Structure 1
Amino acid sequence: MRDEILCLHQSSELYGSDRSFLAAIESISAKKKIYCILPFLGELSPLVKDMGAEIEYYPYGILRKQRLKSPVSYSMELIKATLYYAKKYKAFNAIYINTTVMLSALLAAGLYRFSKKSFFCHVREIPDKKLIVIFRLLLRFSGAKLIFNSEATKAAFNLPGTVIYNGVVPLYSVPSMRTGRDCKNLLLIGRINTWKGQDFFIDVIGKIANNAGDDLHIRIVGSPFEGYEYLEKDLIEKVNSYGISDNVEFFPFCSDPTEHFQWASYVVVPSTKPEPFGRVAIEAYSVGKPVIAAGHGGLVEIVNHEKDGFLFIPANQSSLEEVLLRLPPPGSPLYEKLSKCALDTYYKKFSIKSYKERINSTLENIY
């Protein structure tokens, strides 16, 4: 029997869920050696290796929407992957599964329900209502102890478990460089997909462009999943159709977003579906940037309206318009107050120290 803790994750990039996984296994590796299975060699890999972890690459058995288009071959893949994980689990006493999209890993865990092995699943998603029934059954079958990233995620699944808010390391020391202008620099950063709200946000900017003049500058930072490149193309075409290309810039995903956060005066999270947590919001708070966020999901557990940011009615253009048109300019007393409160919120609730302490407290019986 191996002495390491087996840690499983569905990606090898450096988006929010990847960074949260990295922070979790950093905490675990301080107590015990880890063995990781990742789907491919990526930017996450060397950071995991730096912890002294052994890495194995296995890309199958993960929920991918594109694979659902081939149900027969995908079903065969899930079965083979379940057998792979079931065999792999034999060598470990403790297994940490990050995110519910690790379908085969969770199915294989269910085969060990009555063993002495310890399984933990870190739930970081709020699926659609139809899918959540399936995921709830899967989690129950797995027998894993559950960790949720927010009260909103826990409530959506309606299953027992521990809530641990994500924590982040500040991207840089505050105060950062200032733009020296009154214009408001708005940053949207994260995966480009159908529900993160980039499309919705551009529609709002297109409507208020005449009223806002040259006051608002926007950066959209991120890339779509492979096979969904058309989403970014559609966004660029929409910006051009509104005649706001001078105010909106696009940047691909980058592993170090420091430059973009330094540029920003506000960070916007306009998700049209509930965010399970909202890691981008606490990254913004860690460097004193107020957040403009859709008021649902985990974001309402982070953003305090008109104290450290602003909440608007989800997917409601008029509500977001109202917020954008009355934003305090950078350098104003009200903006400085928002910025200070953002930092205070970060240190009180979302520091990396408190995150790691809670991870270790939850997993203490397996060390």
Structure 2
Amino acid sequence: MMKKQIFEERKVSWLELFFDLIFVTAVSSTTHLFVTIDHHPEHTLLYFGEYLLMVTPMFWAWVGQTMFYNRFGKKISHPELFMLSQMFFLILMTASFDLEFADTFYTFIIGYAGIRLFTVIQYFTAAKKYSAEQKQVANLLGRLFLVGILISLSAIFFEGNSRFFIMYAGIFLDILLPLLNGKKLQKVPVHFPHLAERFGLFVIITFGETIVAITGILAEKVTDPYTLLYVFLSFVIISILWASYFHSFEHVVDQNRATNGQVFLYGHYFIIIAIMMLAANIHLLFLGHLNKSLLLLFLYGSVALFFLSKQVVFGLHKKAEIEFSIWKEIGLVGLLACFYLLNQLTSLPLITSLLSILICALLDLMIRFQSSKLVRKRS
């Protein structure tokens, strides 16, 4: 039986919104960086891997501060001092995003470690102002994150590829350790409505980047009919995916759920990666310089990842009266796979791929509306 909790009203603060503003730049920088692989077709997979290795610590830096502020932010004096300091280190880390990663390794690791160290300091500071279980959880998270940071920082004493391995070993341990201690974190549930709103705002940021991507396509060919059609279809797809996400956000999610927030947190990593990948691939497919088969795989894969991760996140946080049909979801992803194979095995024009994704996106939105409509009729 899912536990319920009555949460006091809590709005996202202006400080949090200012904090998010820096991440607008970070998301834009990483997406722009991935689009530049158009000039290096022989390194597409390599640079895609590097892109993920840059997006992941960026996302985790935002998550770290967001989760702390959600649980313990009330009793931190002058939180702006901590968050503004983190924002400076994020600027340093964002400026270090480079496909030639060896050139910016030191500034990148200093930026990431600076953000995380301020988060750890906040946990230890907050622990002094709480008692019993809250103090225990705050100290636990502070210690876990400190271990990951120290491992990552030790990479500065190494050279060559081994330093990258050590740095990311620390980052992935930083991400993994809270997951392994999920039961202990349940002692201090998150303020779920606030957390859901924070992740919704981050998703808005990534959807905004898709608009930037298609605007870049149109910028130099405003009067070209084919370009106008391509951008129009891309915009409609983005709008439908946005509507599907936020319809579920508004009508499916149980805002009174008591949870440690981990499924919501880790699931949104894949949602955000999917949206960012969609933005980049829409742009790269239009340019037409890279291997079309690989880009189609990325394009359809990003949409499938969006469908599946969204379903998991909202399915596990849904209201009790909402019913999801697993067969509808399997059918939707199966249809998407059929369209992908059709476009891979034939020489259909690129517009066909957009139209097929548009059909799947519409079906996904219809399923969401149908589920919520049935609930309203029953009630």
TM-score (norm 1): 0.34
Structure with the largest fraction of strand: 1
TM-score (norm 2): 0.34
